[in-house]
A and B are shown apart, each in its own frame.
Chain A
């Protein structure tokens, strides 16, 4: 199946007036497959927004190429099937309803579908009562919700969202999460750049970590969060942990210890041979935040060593 978004060895160099160079992206490659939600994570200045802007044709790559919904970056007509929310979205000062109609009309959505979708989306982001208020009077969170609604106005095949939940309250965040999951159920793809790591952990099928314009790690969320540290075993009727066990302790009368995946079989045999019972065997996981900090710290020290 063709990817809905693909970056192929893209580099982007910003040159200042004095010809000093800043590499925003360095040989950057990435694929987003149809029907998946991909989290795009990295610290400030990692090149996330630059990558998104190149995909949208707002900026030109210095080298490399890519495709958006099967067409090369910058193709205008393909953007009719794309929904985009920028970080800190800005709109012309008019009513929320008119903002959505304006954005929909730019993407060739026609009446009566345009009015119908406008009402439907304003309701789904909880802005029905404010539909006719000028957005100039809106709070940042309300503007963000207008931004999410306008990104969905053309019923896009691919959603590219840059920090969609940064200014939202918990209830609005929940609403947006539900909208994104609903989009996935409808077979749409979502490319999500965010610093809300718990959010990413909850909804993303795959995560890509980027730092200083390079991909430092990518993979399925579940696999990435699995702790290579191993498995946590709880056993009853055993007093001594098997050789190689770590963090051994007694909890509620049961022996709890951690072992590596390679030692799993030996540990179970040890429990059974001692006449004990295996209560549980859980693969240890870490949070997205722990993984993020680990990856960014490791790549920081690696790049310092290189220098």
Chain B
């Protein structure tokens, strides 16, 4: 477990400035909504939260897809994988780092939302549901992006992951197992949503399967392809 935690911490440290900017973003948006009118409407806050969650899912997919590529380019991957670290642990570290990133960002969205709307029991539980669903959705997108980035250029991998994540949103009634992210995030009002249990279970199972598959593919890939 130690290598996974250490690699996740390093991933977070590598992306700390982006994370700081993203954490500040919901508050800046909130200030923009709040100050001119002195009170944002519930619909406005709901729309803002929904937009920021989807934006966050895409950013995290892009981060995850470029992680292996960046580590290869910087040659740091050689230093890490020449230690007693398996490819599964390496991918696990990147995914846990993405999870830390997602939790920090979605917690900031939750805090900004609480700041903008009056706190009530109902809002509190809805925000917790929003936080959990968004984190799971971003991890699903990140794991798909990681899998694809083991064989594709990171930009292609991230684009494809974003398409796989968001294309099912256009479906009227997306299948929970085929498109758990769409089910997790599709609620028209994120401030009134609850946690869809079947989609949550499907997402967690699929993340585990996708990461194991990514590890299998990654194990058979050379991490250094340049010829002396």
CB within 8 Å of B: which residues of A? 14, 22, 24, 44-50, 53, 56-60, 76-80, 82, 84, 86, 88-92, 94, 102-103, 105-108, 150
Query: Is there contact, CB below 8 Å, between B79 and A46?
Result: no
The chain B residue sitting closest to A89, CB to CB, is B79
Extra A-B contacts (14), CB below 8 Å, given A14-B227, A76-B85, A103-B79? A14-B225, A44-B228, A45-B227, A48-B228, A58-B223, A59-B224, A60-B220, A60-B222, A90-B75, A91-B76, A91-B79, A92-B14, A106-B3, A106-B6
Query: Is there contact, CB below 8 Å, between A105 and B2?
Result: yes
Of the candidates B3, B6, B75, B83, the one having the most CB atoms from chain A within 10 angstroms of its own CB is B83
Q: Once the chains are docked, how many angstroms separate the CA of A143 from the CA of B178?
A: 48
Q: Indicate whether B120 reaches chain A with its CB closer than 8 angstroms.
A: no
Q: Indicate whether B28 reaches chain A with its CB closer than 8 angstroms.
A: no
Query: Is there contact, CB below 8 Å, between B79 and A86?
Result: yes
Given contacts A88-B75, A92-B10, contact A106 B224 (CB under 8 A): no
Q: Once the chains are docked, how many angstroms separate the CA of A88 from the CA of B76?
A: 10
User: Can you offer 30 A-B residue contacts whose CB atoms are under 8 A?
Assistant: A45-B228, A46-B228, A47-B228, A53-B78, A57-B81, A58-B78, A58-B82, A58-B224, A59-B223, A59-B224, A60-B222, A78-B84, A79-B85, A84-B82, A84-B83, A86-B75, A86-B78, A86-B79, A90-B74, A90-B75, A91-B79, A92-B13, A94-B13, A102-B6, A103-B79, A103-B83, A105-B3, A106-B80, A106-B84, A108-B2
Neighbouring B residues of A78 by C-beta, 8 Å: 84
Q: Indicate whether B194 reaches chain A with its CB closer than 8 angstroms.
A: no
Q: Once the chains are docked, how many angstroms separate the CA of A79 from the CA of B80?
A: 11
Neighbouring B residues of A79 by C-beta, 8 Å: 82-85
CB within 8 Å of A: which residues of B? 2-3, 6, 10, 13-14, 74-76, 78-86, 220, 222-225, 227-228
Neighbouring A residues of B3 by C-beta, 8 Å: 105-106
Nearest-Cβ distance from residue A108 to partner chain B, whole angstroms: 6
Q: Once the chains are docked, how many angstroms separate the CA of A76 from the CA of B3?
A: 12
Nearest-Cβ distance from residue B219 to partner chain A, whole angstroms: 8
Neighbouring A residues of B220 by C-beta, 8 Å: 60
Neighbouring A residues of B13 by C-beta, 8 Å: 92, 94
The chain A residue sitting closest to B86, CB to CB, is A76
Neighbouring A residues of B76 by C-beta, 8 Å: 90-92
Query: Is there contact, CB below 8 Å, between A56 and B82?
Result: yes
Neighbouring B residues of A77 by C-beta, 8 Å: 84
Nearest-Cβ distance from residue A126 to partner chain B, whole angstroms: 21
The residue from B80, B84, B227 contacting A24, defined by CB atoms under 8 A apart: B227
Q: Once the chains are docked, how many angstroms separate the CA of A157 from the CA of B6?
A: 24
The residue from A22, A56, A60 contacting B227, defined by CB atoms under 8 A apart: A22
Can you list the 9 inter-chain pairs with the closest CB atoms, starting with the nearest?
Answer: A106-B83, A59-B222, A90-B75, A84-B82, A80-B84, A79-B84, A76-B86, A56-B82, A45-B228
The chain B residue sitting closest to A92, CB to CB, is B10
Of the candidates B2, B6, B82, B225, the one having the most CB atoms from chain A within 10 angstroms of its own CB is B82
The residue from B2, B14, B82, B228 contacting A86, defined by CB atoms under 8 A apart: B82
Q: Once the chains are docked, how many angstroms separate the CA of A94 from the CA of B223?
A: 23
Neighbouring B residues of A89 by C-beta, 8 Å: 75, 79
Nearest-Cβ distance from residue A40 to partner chain B, whole angstroms: 12
